[in-house]
Structure 1
Amino acid sequence: MQLTTDYLIAPDPGASGLTRRVAGHDEHGRPVDISVVEERPLTIYLNKQEIVTAMTIGDYPEYLALGFLKNQGMLSGMDDVTGVDHDDDTGTVVVRTASQTTYEAKLERKTRTSGCAVGTVFGDMMEGLEGLTLPPTPVRASWLYALAHKINTTPSLYLEAGAIHGTVLCQQDRPLVYMEDVGRHNAVDKIAGWMLSERANPADKILYTTGRMTSEMVIKTAQMGIPTLASRSGFTAWGVEIAREVGLTLIGRMKGQRFVCLSGEDRLIRDIDPAHAPVEGRKHARKGEGG
C-alpha cells in the first residue's frame, strides 16, 4: 500500500491481489469487464488458541488481528505483545503475548453483528463501557466538511470496484490513516491495530466511516477512546443512546453540505456557512453504504 504526503496510510487501488477483472454483460447484453474486490479468510490466533476467522481483502493482516483482539478486550496493550506472525500461505495471524491470556469465557459468548461480511463480538458487547466518559474534545464543522471532501476524492478501492467500506482516522481537518475492507468492522479493527502499534493518542482524533453508525460501531469507537464518530450514512437508535451515555460526538448523513448531529451538539463548533463548504464532484460522490 502507498504512502502519500497527505496520509500516513492511504488506499492503493492498484495493489496486487486486492481486485480482479471479471467478465460479464450489462443491461443491454453487451460484454463488460469490471474490477471486483477479492475476499479471503484470515484466521486469528491468540497464542495457541484459534479465536476467529474473518473474511477480509487481505491487506494489513497484522493490524486487523491486533485491532480485533484489542477491541474484544483480549489484549491489555502493546507492551504485552511479544510478536505478530502472519503466514500468507495458510491465511493465519498469530498474536503472541508475554502474559497468560484468559479468553475461554469470552469464546463462550459471542454476538453476530449487523455489518456486511458479518462480524462477531465476543463476550458482553457493553463490556469496557462501564464508567467510560470520552474527553469533551470540540470538533469544528469546517473540519468535517474538509475531511469529507478529501476522503471522498481520494483514490480508493471503493471508487475502483465498489463493494467495500472505508474507515479513516483523522486529526482536525487531516485524514491520517485510511483503511478499507469488505466489512466496516474489519476496517475499524485495522485502525485500532495501527493505533495500538503506534501508541497513538485517541483524545484529539475523529473517526470517519462510510458505513452506518450501529451500536457496534459506536462501542468500538468509544473503546478506542476516540471522541468523535462521523459518517455519510445513518444511525441506529441504540447507537445514538450509547453515544450519548459515553459522551461521543455522533455526526451522520454527511452528504454534500448537509449533516445531522445526534450526540455531542455542545461540542460541535459551527464555524462555517454550509453554503461555502467544499463539495466533491458527482464522479466521487459516494452513496450511503448500508453495511
Structure 2
Amino acid sequence: MLSSRSDGPAFPTVHRTAVLRLEQGRAEACVDHVIEEVPVALVYNRISHAVMLASPETLDDLGLGFSLSEGILAGPDELFDIAVKEGCDGLEVHMEIPLERFTALKDRRRSMTARTGCGLCGVEKLEAVARVKGRVTRGAPVPAAVVARALADFAEHQHLHRLTGAVHGVAWVDRAGIIKAIREDVGRHNALDKLIGWMARSGADPTDGFVLTSSRASFEMVQKAAVAGIGCLVAISAPTALAVRLAEGCGLTLAGFARDQRVVVYSHPGHFVV
C-alpha cells in the first residue's frame, strides 16, 4: 500500500483565540477554538495544478481522493509517490503520476483559466462538466433504520466540528449503520475527496455501504461519489435538481434531509428497504 510522508513542521488544525461571548444579557471573556484554513497546492510531477483552501490534516487522503474523483488517475496504483511539504504561504501536496496521465493533465490545464477544486471552474463545454461514465453499482439494499443509527453517532465522530462549528463532515457507513471512517474539512468537496482517498487506501468496497455528509448534496458531490464508484450518498441537507438528475442517470441512490428518523430519497429508492 502506498505510504505518504511529510516534510517540515505540521500546520495546526485548530487555533485557540480569545473571544467575548454575549448571552442572555451577560458578557463573558473566554477562549474558543476556530478551524484553521490554509492554502493547499496540489502538485503533479513538480507542476502545480490546483490551489484550494483546506483544513491542514489528512492531506495525503485529499491528494489521492482529488486525483481519483477528478479523473486525473484511474486508480490508487497510479499514484507512485505522495509527500506533504511546507510551502512559502501554505502546504504543498507533491504527487508523482505516470507520464501519460501527466500529459493528459497538461492538455486539460491549457483550457482552464481558473481552478479552485470545485470541479467546474474553467470548463469550456457543458458536456465536459459530467465526468461520470456508465452507471455505478449499488450493491444489496440497505435498511432505512441504519441511516438513523449512523446519524445518532455522526456528531460524536466530528471532533473538529465540535471544537469549531465551522467544518463539514463526510463519513463512510457500513450496512449495519456503523461509521467506519470520517473526514472533516472547511470545504465539503475537500472532505469528500479525503474520504475517497481513505477508501482507496484501505480497500473499502464502495458498494458495501453509503456516504453520509453534513452538507447539502450538490452536483459536484454526486459526481465525485459516482466517479469513485460509490452507490449511495445521504445528505443531512437538501440536494439540488442537477444533482438529482445526475444521480438518476448514473444509478446512484441520492437521499437528503436525513434527520432523526426521517430520510427523503430522490433517486433509485429501491436501494433502501423499510
TM band (smaller chain): 0.7 to 0.9
In structure 2, what is the equivalent of residue 92 of structure 1? 92
The alignment covers a number of residue pairs equal to 251
How much does 1:120 deviate? 2.8
Give the partner amino acid of 1:257: Q
Residue-by-residue CA offset, 1:61-95 (whole Å, 9 max, x unaligned): 11111111111111122222221111135511111
CA contact (8 A) 1:170 1:177 kept: yes
How much does 1:184 deviate? 0.4
Q: Which residue, out of 23, 27, 35, partners 2:18?
A: 23
CA distance in 1, matches of 2:54, 2:262: 32
CA distance in 2, matches of 1:131, 1:111: 29
Do residues 268 (structure 1) and 272 (structure 2) align? Answer: yes
Give the partner amino acid of 1:250: L
Which has the larger displacement, 164-173 or 118-127?
118-127
How much does 1:199 deviate? 3.1
Q: Which residue, out of 47, 55, 69, partners 1:49?
A: 47
CA distance in 2, matches of 1:46, 1:33: 40
CA distance in 1, matches of 2:158, 2:187: 19
CA contact (8 A) 2:50 2:117 kept: no
In structure 1, what is the equivalent of residue 144 of structure 2? 141
In structure 1, what is the equivalent of residue 5 of structure 2? none
In structure 1, what is the equivalent of residue 65 of structure 2? 67
Q: Which residue, out of 101, 105, 108, partners 2:107?
A: 105
CA distance in 1, matches of 2:11, 2:96: 29
CA contact (8 A) 1:80 1:99 kept: no
SS of match in other structure, 1:94: strand
Matches within 5 A, 1:228-247: 228-247=232-251
In structure 2, what is the equivalent of residue 217 of structure 1? 221
**TM-score for the superposition, normalised by structure 2:** 0.84
CA distance in 2, matches of 1:189, 1:155: 16
CA distance in 2, matches of 1:77, 1:54: 23
CA contact (8 A) 1:134 1:246 kept: no
CA distance in 1, matches of 2:263, 2:194: 26
CA distance in 1, matches of 2:33, 2:76: 37
How much does 1:110 deviate? 5.1
Q: Which residue, out of 66, 72, 76, partners 2:74?
A: 76
SS of match in other structure, 2:63: helix
- Where structure 1 has 5 or more consecutive residues not aligned to the other structure, the ranges are 1-14, 271-291
Distance 1:222 1:110, change over 3 A: farther
CA distance in 2, matches of 1:198, 1:136: 19
Distance 1:42 1:199, change over 3 A: same
CA distance in 1, matches of 2:136, 2:262: 28
How much does 1:96 deviate? 0.5
